[in-house]
Amino acid sequence: MTTHYLVLSALLFAIGGVGVLVRRNAIVVFMCVELMLNACNLAFVTFARQHGNLDGQLIAFFVMVVAAAEVVIGLAIIVMIFRTRRSASVDNANLLKY
Amino acid sequence: MPWLSILIAVPVLGAVGVALLPKGSDKLAKQLALVVSLVVLGLTVAMAVQFSPNGNRFQFEEKYSWIPSFGVHYGVAVDGIALVLIALSAILVPIVILASWHDAEGRPDATGLAPKRSAKTYFALLLVLEAMMIGVFAATDIFLFYVFFEAMLIPMYFMIGSYGGVQRSYAAVKFLLYSLFGGLLMLVAVIALYVVAEKNTFMFPELIGAIQDPTTQKWLFAGFFIAFAIKAPLWPFHTWLPDAAAQAPAGAAVLLVGVLDKVGTYGMLRFCLELFPEASKFFTPLVIVLSVVGIIYGAIVAIGQTDMKRLIAYTSISHFGFIALGVFAMTQNAQSGATLYMVNHGFSTGALFLVAGFLIYRRGSAQIADYGGVQSVAPLLAGAFLIAGLSGLSLPGLAPFVSEFMVLIGTYERYAVPAIIGATGVILAAIYILWMYKRTMNGPTAEPVKGFTDLNGREKWVVAPLIALIVAFGFFPKPLLDVINPAVDKTLTNAQVTDKQPVSTVAEKKGAGQ
Amino acid sequence: MQSPAEIVQHSGGVIGVSWLMIALPLLGAAILLLGGRRTNKWGHFLGVAMSLGAFVVAVLSFVELTGLDPDQRRRAFELFEFIPGMVNMGMLIDPLSISFALLITGVGSLIHIYSIGYMSHDRDRRRFFAYLNLFVAAMLLLVLSDNYVGLFIGWEGVGLASYLLIGFWQHKPSAATAAQKAFIVNRVGDFGLLIGIFTIWTTFGSLAFADLTQQVTGQASEGTLTAIGLLLLLGACGKSAQLPLQSWLLDAMEGPTPVSALIHAATMVTAGVYLVVRSGAFFEQAPTAQLVVTIVGVATLLAGAIIGCAKDDIKKGLAGSTMSQIGYMMLGAGLGPAGYAFAIGHLITHGFFKANMFLGAGSVMHAMNDEVDMRRYGALFPVMKVTAVTFIIGYLAIIGFPMLSGYYTKEGIIETAMEHNAILGWLAVLGAGLTGFYMSRMIFMTFFGKKRWADDAHPHESPAVMTWPLVILSIGSIGLGAFLILGNRFMNFLSPAVGLPQELPETHVFGFGPAALATLALVAAGAALAWFRYGAAEVPAVAPRGSFLTTFARRDLYGDALNEALLMRPGQWLTRIAVFFDNRGVDGLVNGLAAGIGGTSGRLRRVQNGYVRSYALSILFGAAAVVGALLYVGNM
Amino acid sequence: MNGGTIEAPTIEYALLAPMLLVFGAAIVGVLVEAFAPRYLRKSIHVPLTLLALLGGFLLTILQVVRDGVPTTPAAMGAVAVDGPALFIWAIILILALVSTLLINDDEQFVAQAAAVPGSSDEEEAVRSGYAQTEVYPLLLFSVGGMLLFPAANDLLVMFVALEVLSLPLYLLCGLARRRRLLSQEASVKYFLLGSFSSAFFLYGTALLYGYAGSLDLKAISAALGTVAGQDTLLFVGMAMLGVGLMFKIGAAPFQAWKPDVYQGAPTAITALMASTVLVAAFGAVLRVFWVALGNLDWDWRPVMWGVAILTMVVGAVLAITQTDIKRMLAYSSIAHAGFLLTGVIATGAFEQNRDALSAILFYLAAYGFTTVGAFAVVTMVRDAGGEAGHLSRWAGLGKRAPVLAGIFAFFLLAFAGIPLTSGFFGKYAVFSAAVAGDALPLVVVGVVTSAIAAFFYVRVIVLMFFSEPAADGPTVAMPTIGTSAVVALAAAATVVLGVFPEPVLNLADQAASALFIR
């Protein structure tokens, strides 16, 4: 039963992961990361159900808070670089290499 | 009296003192360095006289716990082998300081510009190096030995890199990395030795016989040996030496080839044989082959050199072949000879490098082709070069002969064929030395050589003691051998080897006759 | 057959201070070398004094030795411990060594005196005397040591002195090259000697002559003894310029003439003979080795003679002759106790007459502005009578003119060889005939015939300091042979040191044996041929192109060409290959490894391309790899 | 958690005091930002930050001296303040304090982060003497996270700590005053990759939770023996958790961010990351792989072997061709992470636990000081464009500023592990633990890569001492008191730990002897 949720969670995680790899826009990349975090949340909640304890559900809340904090920081950084470069493409920022 | 600690401390303090002198006091720095090195020499002599050759193996022992967590001690002591090598270092350093009087300043005609170099630093480094050289021979704790073994690379690295020839940084880096690589392999072996021996100590005397398993012995032997073979250097690990020696200022080259490299052969004799007797026997054929190849190969390549310092470096590779051959021949004569060789080679190559340095200082080139007919304008210089060269080809009556003779005869006792092949080095040595001498010193005087001045007072003082030692020990090596022999005897006992007996002996008769 | 006497350890009397023989000239050399220019004024006198001092000690030792019972005449004593447990330095005074000592110091002193005059115009005369003194000391060390190591030190010491003296005029490239060649070729021989010494040590456990008696050496296998013998012979060949190591001697004539006389005629080059005789305990029990010694001797005596026939350079002619005469000595030394006395006897008389002729040649050169080409000489007899007469006495001695020194000693060798092996004997006779030819050629070209002098030549007799030694040496050339050989005087004298043959040879004032007569006949024929070609006929001032044989002889029997083709050229190639291999191979590997790591680094860093997405990809791949690996390991 | 009654949790405030102090000071810092006038802020922040860090350090010491090392976890099992944690705290706090001294420098941080580089806004901000004083509270938050990270006894707490330590760093990385494009790029890269990897960490956590039903490290360990048939969950979870952790220590193949971020970030922040973050991350790695997964060492050791070898090789080899000093030090840091991993692998063999642990603790302390010192020197070598990052600019520095160059050379030799420097004993300790832990081949790889690594350290020395100075070479800034203190302290630590390492070794040994609380 819970397996489906887990598969879904894994799929979401994979989609997020692939999204990070294929998308250029920093915001979208970041959203994909958020998707990965949410996949984790789904997994936590599923496992909480499976184990019959509430820890997983509790954790999901923590993760949400952390994700929110990450958004705050992340958007600040992305906006900063967007203002500088007039572009949100992550591929544009490659001065640091080799 | 903690003689050895004092011997290590004095040059360190001297180095600090030299380094702390105010800017521009180069002359004072030189004088101070010279005085310090002479004090060390005096102390060494004072210590050496108190050494009793037939007393305990290790004398002037000091042992303090240094890093109990690792079982490391500050343990120093000397046996006959270490004593003569310490004495060698103590003798060479003041000579080198005197010889390097102007080396650190850089000559204007070398590359067109006269680099401003700090003479003060050079002499401070020299003194630091001296402390480490004494320390490395005195260490009875293997960890301490390793510390000195590696740490002494650094001052030499700076001496080559900062004060050397045109390609100095290449040479310095090559020297450092090559040695470091060997050292790190040795580090693994040192660690493994500690772990496997389970004695919770690095004290050498306590670790003798600690490793019994033959396979373990072989691996550990390999770890130690490669480091020593690079340091010595044995063929085929030798290519750093010609570069380093050719680029180093003459004084540094003397210490590099004369003393530093001896740490390699000393390590083989002291650590490889005694700690891993079984493995030593197992690897003996290999080492002997490497040594013999080194003797011949070094000599042949030396013949083909066009640069004086490189040539001398290659002769040393040949000579290190002899030393390693003697060490691994595992006979009393060969090992005593090898130890004596280490000392004599220090004097002989030292003299050769220094006199070559005087020449190069005058001409601004180390190329043999740039000279010719020096003997006509500077007979003393040429004479000193000749004597140094002759000692390099082991002319009887000069010190290196005794050691080469002992090495070969001792090797012959057990391994006749390698000794015979090695002895052909005698012929090759004559070729490389005399041919170099002829090309530089004989014939019509070359135009740029005409203005050469003969040895000045300072240079005479550099050369005279070395030549005196070479001649004196050539006819009367007994004082050195008396000190060396009992120590070698102990080494052989610990290496579990006994001398071969002659087929038909005249020993009884000899005993009755004399 | 009588074995040598036992060596007695005893350090009393004059013999007890016989080390002064070595010490005095050594001191002289040290003072002259270290004293520098300050000693220029009196340096040569010091040199002579030191040499004479050694001579005096030698004479006194000799007198003391002859005063002892024959079986007490081998005295050795220790000076100091050299290599503890292996070698003690000590002196051995016995009839053999004292004979050499007398020759070395005696002839040596005469040559020292001669050199005062000969080198008077050289600004480095002091250094010359220092080297001469050094030579005398080393040579004495060679013959007076009581062990092989001391002998070897002296052996190389004379090699050094020879090197220094051949290259004395080092500013001449030819001299420097000749010196270097002499040293290196000698080293080849030294290599053999060294290995021989090693074998002696490992076989018998001692290097002292006192220990190595025939009883002791008899315990070893003949194979070992043969090996020892051949190795020692290799050493002897180097020092004594025997085939195949002869090539250096002719070049060595680049040195000042007194050097040629002392070192390359009278003393040093005979060290090989000394070595063979001294090592009799090995050779006598190794017939194969002895045979090789005689073959080498005969081959060299012929080769030297052939070379001597074609040389126009007076010194090189004499050098070929020296080679040849040492060949005789070697032949004698290879014949065992029967030949020793003749070999050493010939060595001593040769020392006199050859030094005599070399110094005579020097005197001629001195007179002719250092011209050495005999084709530019001729008709010198009238202008320098003393030189000419003494030279001719030496000449007569060497060709074996009856009653003169060479006659007895050479005849002794030929007779003994004949008894031993007829082929060797007849070849030796042939050599004597050749000697007659080439020496006569030399006399006729130099002192007789027509003047072929250079335009600016004004020959004159040399000063007394040079002629007196000639006179003294020529006296020795006349009488010494008869004194030594007749009645086996010398053989009996030497016997404590080298033993005696089973039966003593008969000696005659004039021999009528077939060999003796044949020798005389051949010598006469040779002399006559020389007279027809060089005395009676016009000698061209420029050497004509000769036949193949002449060219063969002129070019030293292609010895140098052979060396060049077999050793030098391959050696040069080997050196070049080795240097190349070292730079590109061994060092190339090291540098290549470093470059390889550097190159890898340079390529790998391109992976770090600056795109954050590829970084993420690497993380993802890494994560996949880690997951996979863990699953793999976990399910194993 | 039974029947709706909620028990008030017990919290050992005294035990957590150092961490709480740091977080408290961080919050005060935020308040200062909010209320204090601009001209006062800096003069409040600096002492506040330094005092908080110093206080935390003293409290840590006090804890050890007064109460010894606790044997049970604190805060309801969420935080374990045990021997290793206390030692790590002490290192982090002192290194953070030292790094803060470096931050104390207007030269490094942007006047106004919001101003677009090169715009008139920026000029205006610079002219008005603005300063981004938020740096200090951000730093304190980050340090607080670092303290919590290795002490977390619960994967959730660890995740939170990870984010708390990371988020401020993302920001700090983007605040460089010069070369702002690089700095911003570093920031965005670090942020994206950091959050990407923390997603992995979290997913791994989730899977482990699924496996064990708890996030408590001890509970996970206990579940290893009882839960059957869920191996895939366990291994995948362990792998993904590991990925998150390995990312933080910069192990290959998760090292890609390190060079870019180290190069772009303000040097003081780089120093902080290179020292304290590494220490904290290794603390967490040790705790997770020891307390939770220690019984699985047969499974994770082979994988960690691969990671360690790859890390050492990549760090050493890639560093050779670097041309920027900070980038080179970043690769050096990767190589050192590899060396440390050999120590981590050695902890797997149980009887060697203690030696390996103390070896790593010593290594971290030694390396931390040397690193901070090295970056401090980097801040002082400047040319017109700010810090002279390109190595070619360092040519001949030994002649212009012999003392500084000498000290830097000494740091480099310590990195290379030359005897008589702290680096040598660190390396020795770790390698000897690894040999004892049957990881001899790993040690051989370690020494070979050390030899390779030595090349690039030595190359810098060659440049500084053996090359002729460039005509327009960089100048050496007159160091502030703070910077010189940092350099002096780091040099002193490198010397002292290199000659008399025994006291610190002893301390590390004692810290390790208590082991991690299970």
For residue B509, the model assigns a pLDDT of 45
| C119-158 as b/e: b if 16+ CB within 10 A | beeeebbbbbbbbbbbbbbbbbbbbbbbbbbbbbbbbbbb
ipTM of model over 0.85: yes
A97 within domain boundaries: no
Based on the structure, what is the number of domains in chain A? 1
Indicate the pLDDT class of residue B502, thresholds 50, 70 and 90.
low
Interface B:D, ≥3 CB–CB pairs < 8 Å: yes
The mean pLDDT value of chain D amounts to: 88
A96 within domain boundaries: no
C400: left (phi over 0), alpha (psi -120 to 50) or beta: left
Helices (H), C205-286: 214-217, 222-239, 247-251, 257-261, 271-278, 280-283
For residue B106, the model assigns a pLDDT of 56
Residue A80 sits in a domain whose CATH number is 1.10.287.3510
Could you please report the per-residue DSSP string of D396-451?
A: THHHH-HHHHHHHHHHHHHHHT-TTSHHHHHHHHHHHHHHHTT-HHHHHHHHHHHH
CB D11 within 8 A of CB D75: yes
Domain carrying residue A75? 2-89
Residues of A with CB below 8 A from D199's CB?
13, 16-17, 33, 36-37, 40
The partner residue sitting opposite C616, judged by closest CB among A21, A24, A95, is A21
Residues of A with CB below 8 A from C616's CB?
20-21
The CA distance from C189 to C196, in Å, is 11
Kindly determine whether residue A73 and residue D186, on different chains, have CB atoms separated by under 8 Å. Answer: no
Phi/psi at C79 (5° precision): -95, -55
> Is any Cβ of chain C less than 8 angstroms from the Cβ of D458?
no
Kindly determine whether residue C199 and residue B476, on different chains, have CB atoms separated by under 8 Å. Answer: no
Instruction: Express each pLDDT in C461-480 by its tens digit.
Output: 888 888 888 888 888 888 88
Instruction: Name the closest residue on chain A to residue D331, using Cα atoms.
Output: A98
Indicate the pLDDT class of residue B166, thresholds 50, 70 and 90.
confident
For residue B83, the model assigns a pLDDT of 94
Residues of chain D with pLDDT > 90, as a percent, come to 55
Chain-centre distance for alpha carbon B267 = 12
Has residue D475 got a pLDDT over 80?
Answer: no
Instruction: Express each pLDDT in C201-260 by its tens digit.
Output: 988 888 888 888 877 777 888 888 999 999 999 999 988 888 888 888 888 888 888 888
Instruction: Express each pLDDT in D425-472 by its tens digit.
Output: 999 999 999 998 888 899 999 999 999 999 999 989 988 888 877 777
Has residue B461 got a pLDDT over 60?
Answer: yes
Residues of D with CB below 8 A from C600's CB?
317
Has residue B440 got a pLDDT over 50?
Answer: yes
For residue A87, the model assigns a pLDDT of 85
For residue D350, the model assigns a pLDDT of 60
**Where in chain B are the domains?**
3-503
For residue C618, the model assigns a pLDDT of 92
Has residue B456 got a pLDDT over 90?
Answer: no
Report the 10 Å Cβ neighbour count for C561: 12
Nearest to D336 by CA among D355, D319, D353, D324: D319
For residue B505, the model assigns a pLDDT of 52
Instruction: Express each pLDDT in B323-365 by its tens digit.
Output: 999 999 988 899 999 999 999 999 999 999 999 998 888 888 8
Residues of A with CB below 8 A from D324's CB?
none
For residue B511, the model assigns a pLDDT of 41
Residues of chain B with pLDDT > 70, as a percent, come to 94
Neighbouring chains of B at 3+ CB pairs under 8 Å are: C, D
Instruction: Name the closest residue on chain D to residue B159, using Cα atoms.
Output: D466
Indicate the pLDDT class of residue C142, thresholds 50, 70 and 90.
very high
The partner residue sitting opposite D254, judged by closest CB among C597, C622, C634, is C622
- Please report where in the chains the tokens 């772990």 appear, as a residue: B195
Kindly determine whether residue B67 and residue D501, on different chains, have CB atoms separated by under 8 Å. Answer: yes
Farthest CA pair distance, chain C: 116
Q: What is the residue type of C221?
A: S
A98 within domain boundaries: no
Indicate the pLDDT class of residue C1, thresholds 50, 70 and 90.
low
Kindly determine whether residue A97 and residue C610, on different chains, have CB atoms separated by under 8 Å. Answer: yes
Chain B residues bordering chain D (beta-carbon distance below 8 Å)? 66-70, 115-116, 118, 146-148, 150-151, 153-154, 157-158, 161-162, 168-169, 172-173, 176-177, 180-181, 184-185, 187-188, 191-192, 194-195
- Minimum mean pLDDT range among B181-190, B368-377, C95-104, D104-113: D104-113
For residue D130, the model assigns a pLDDT of 78
Indicate the pLDDT class of residue C376, thresholds 50, 70 and 90.
confident
CB B406 within 8 A of CB B337: yes
Kindly determine whether residue C180 and residue B434, on different chains, have CB atoms separated by under 8 Å. Answer: yes
Instruction: Express each pLDDT in D99-112 by its tens digit.
Output: 998 886 667 788 77
Question: Which whole number is the average pLDDT over B116-134?
Answer: 88
Write down the number of H helices and E strands in chain B: 23, 2
Interface B:A, ≥3 CB–CB pairs < 8 Å: no
Nearest-CA distance C218 → chain B (Å): 10
The CA distance from A50 to B348, in Å, is 85
Kindly determine whether residue D163 and residue A66, on different chains, have CB atoms separated by under 8 Å. Answer: yes
Instruction: Express each pLDDT in C576-609 by its tens digit.
Output: 888 888 888 888 888 898 889 889 999 988 888 8
Nearest-CA distance C568 → chain A (Å): 55
| C313-343 as b/e: b if 16+ CB within 10 A | bbbbbbbbbbbbbbbbbbbbbbbbbbbbbbb
Farthest CA pair distance, chain D: 79
Residues of chain B with pLDDT > 90, as a percent, come to 59
A52 within domain boundaries: yes
Question: Which whole number is the average pLDDT over C541-561?
Answer: 75
Residues of D with CB below 8 A from C598's CB?
320-321
> Is any Cβ of chain C less than 8 angstroms from the Cβ of D221?
no
**Where in chain D are the domains?**
13-513
The model carries a pTM of 0.92
- Please report where in the chains the tokens 């390999």 appear, as a residue: B222
Instruction: Express each pLDDT in C55-84 by its tens digit.
Output: 999 999 999 888 888 888 888 888 888 988
Strands C8-9 and C75-83: parallel
